[in-house]
Amino acid sequence: MHNLGFALDGAWRVLLAGLVLGAGLPVLFALGIRSLAWGAGEASVDASGVTAGTKRPLGTVLGYLLFAIVVAGVLLGLTFIVASGFGNKISFEHIYPTIVPK
């Protein structure tokens, strides 16, 4: 049963990549949303009426920064789809992704 070995070998790689990209990016996205919410501040209601929350620019900036990382991850995915359509693949040997022929 060589196939079982090959399959399990492939499976843990897919699981690892899936966890890093498939769970990691949404987590960053969620953190981004949390930062934005924090940056917008919390409104409070008391006897004198509604008080708008204090804005925290750091949170807003951090939030958009995290979104940018997520967008970069999505672009990497897009590049991969387009590149493999044209018979290329993405190589990570220089750490940053480069497109090389398959």
Given candidates 81, 93, 95, 96, which one binds other proteins under the rule CB under 8 A?
81
Tokens of 61: 């900036």
Q: Round to whole Å and give the CA distance between 52 and 60.
A: 16
Angle, CA of 98, 23 and 60, to the nearest 5° = 85
Return the range that interacts with other proteins (CB under 8 A); candidates 9-17, 44-52, 54-62: 9-17
Contact residues: other proteins, CB under 8 A: 2-4, 6-8, 10-11, 13-15, 17-23, 25-27, 29-34, 36-37, 40, 70, 74, 77-78, 80-82, 84-87, 89-90, 102
